[in-house]
Structure 1
Amino acid sequence: MTHSNSAAPATAVPKRTCPSDTTEAEWAVLEPLLPTSACQLSTGGRPEKHPRRNVVDAIRYVNDNGCKWRSVPVDFGVPWRTVFGFFQRWRASGALARIHAEPHEQVRLHDGLDPRTVAVILDSQSVKGAETVSQDTRGFDGGKLVNGRKRHLAVDMRGLPLSVMVTKASPHDSVPARDLLFRLMSTHPELATAWADSAYGGPLIEWADSFLGLTLKTVPRRKNQNGFAVLAKRWRVERAISWIMRARRNVRDYARLISHNEAYITWTFITLMARRLTRPPRPPRTIPHPVEPVSKPKPKCIECRDRTPSALLRPR
């Protein structure tokens, strides 16, 4: 159930000047999703002093530009402690998860799809951790040679995430994938199929089928593949990872708590989905993506003729 913050103070909202600020259309999408203010609850509470739109814009500014919380510009008219307080309370209360879940369904309906997807794609990303990341919450990824944390994503066929989980970078992908899939199935029991790379293969496939009733399929690398190549299904989650890196706060991990790191990623996708809802719906694709399995046309027979002069082939 969504509520509107009708008890917001009459403080003037500053002029929108930053690229991360909400537009009128985006605020119309986000405002009903915010939790009810304390003064409107039966328990009562003090009215909020600052407009919530300024608070949301300040959170998006920190996430998009990667600055410190203490460096929140005074142009927003909200002290940085107040902004961080809202950021932390909405995450701890579960309000941020609802703010993310409802736009996800709205985007799918906006594009003419079923609001509940039945297929997901899994992948992970290792990110370097700053000195503010404690030793207990960081690890070394031997494959990527990264000392920090690892982000685990589960996205739908449009690349929008259903679940985000952050762990140490040291465990193999198949180990935290069990917790990710368990969380995913508890909130989305309609899921039937999941695609991932070969790191999620082996015993994890049997475990997902036996305990979760989920069909896990791996998309291996192509034969004789040298370097990077766009692979079917997997390119969608890799594109979602590139969307995460557009927010500079996600380029490197500075969060002391793992839950805060997950909140930064969640705010990145909330911003993305709010912008999609304010644009015309995407037209349906008329042709499959080049990397998807399609019927390949028969190769044409081209006659190769050696036009090298015979004089150049004679030994000297």
Structure 2
Amino acid sequence: MAEQRPYPSDLSDARWKLIEPVLSAWRADRRGRGLDIGRPCEHDLRAIMNAIVYVDRTGIPWRYPPHEYPPWQSVYGYFAHWQNDGVFTQLSGLLRRLVRAAEGRDPEPTACVIDAQSVKTSANVPAAGQGYDAGKKITGRKRSIVTDTLGLLLAVMVTAASVSDGAAGLPLPTQVAADHPTITKTWADSAYRTTVIEGGAALGIDLEVVRRDSATRGFTVLPRRWVIERTLGRLMFHRRLARDYEALPTRSEAMIHIAMIDLMTRRLTRESTPTWRDT
């Protein structure tokens, strides 16, 4: 029988080596606490992670993975456990520090950028978790993210699209200050002002608004803000993020972390991300 060819989204040996210790430690911890009694761990962690990245990259429903992967119930079960236990956040933080070190930066950033993106939702998202963004004319959810100056994810929060950028972004400086006390500077657009600036100042973070020149016509690259705009664009290569399909906002946030894990492992191993342009 011919050997099964890997899918383009599958983890290479080098990429798997970066994340395997965290997943193996998670499984060992569950075994140590007796959480798998009566339900032996029969699935390979690499196969599970490959299936999760496949869903994130291709945008297929959870019930539709190729037969080469473990059963979808097991894949989704691991995804839910890893989201609840903060495994994706832990992996994202570990890989971010490795990327920063590889780029000759300190592992912990001293400055960051904040922005938001509104996307449409699918039919399975509860109506109570959606809203209308009058500025973007989109009914759905809003993703507020914070990145470092390399565009690497520091924090993410998903809300209804009707929540203003300022209100959605208000809790993020508090989270960033707690997780990254070295940060003293933030850049944002004009939607983040007054309350967010005052909240950041109380935490010792100087928030500077980068404004677009009113005399400029057409597309223009804005200082600092282009970094986070590029990150949002790269995230959209993962078709599961083109629309919000997750019933829970926390699961939607996990999908963003998975996309960043995919991007950062490729960046560390210098592997390209196949797109339609490569066909």
Say whether the 8 Å CA contact 2:173–2:199 is kept in structure 1.
Answer: no
- Candidates 9, 12, 16, aligned match of 1:20: 9
* Equivalent of 2:52 in 29, 51, 59: 59
Matched residue type, 1:203: T
Residue 254 (1) aligns with residue 253 (2): no
User: Which residue does the alignment assign to 2:177?
Assistant: 185
Deviation at 1:153, TM superposition (A): 0.9
1:38-86 deviation per Cα after TM superposition (whole angstroms, max 9, x unaligned): 674153634311111100000010000000111011112x100000000
Question: Is 1:117 aligned with 2:117?
Answer: no
* Mapped pair 1:238 → 2:265: no
Partner SS state of residue 170, structure 2: helix
Residue number in structure 2 paired with 1:222:
213
Bigger shift: residues 237-246 or 183-192: 183-192
1:264 aligned partner: 255
TM-score by length of 2: 0.91
Kindly name which structure, 1 or 2, has the bigger radius of gyration based on alpha carbons: 1
**Is the contact made by 1:120 and 1:156 (CA closer than 8 Å) also made in structure 2?**
yes
Report if aligned partners of 1:219, 1:234 keep a CA contact under 8 Å in 2: yes
Q: TM-score, normalised by structure 1?
A: 0.81
SS in 2 for 1:70: coil
Alpha-carbon RMSD: 1.5
Q: Secondary structure at the match of 1:62?
A: helix
CA distance in 2, matches of 1:36, 1:160: 27
**CA distance in 2: counterparts of 1:44 and 1:252, whole angstroms:** 34
> Which structure 1 residue ranges, 5 or more long, are not aligned?
1-13, 281-316
Counterpart amino acid of residue 154 in structure 1: V
Encode CA deviations 1:210-264: one digit per residue, 9 max, x unaligned.
2x11100000001312232110000000000001100000001111111111111
Residue 37 of structure 1 contacts residue 47 of structure 1 at CA under 8 Å; is this kept in 2? no
Residue 93 of structure 2 corresponds to which residue in structure 1? 101
Q: Which has the higher contact order (CA 8 A, sep 6+)?
A: 2
Task: Report how far residue 278 of structure 1 moved.
Answer: 1.2
Number of equivalences = 265
Letter of the structure 1 residue corresponding to residue 18 of structure 2:
V
AA at the equivalent of 1:96: F
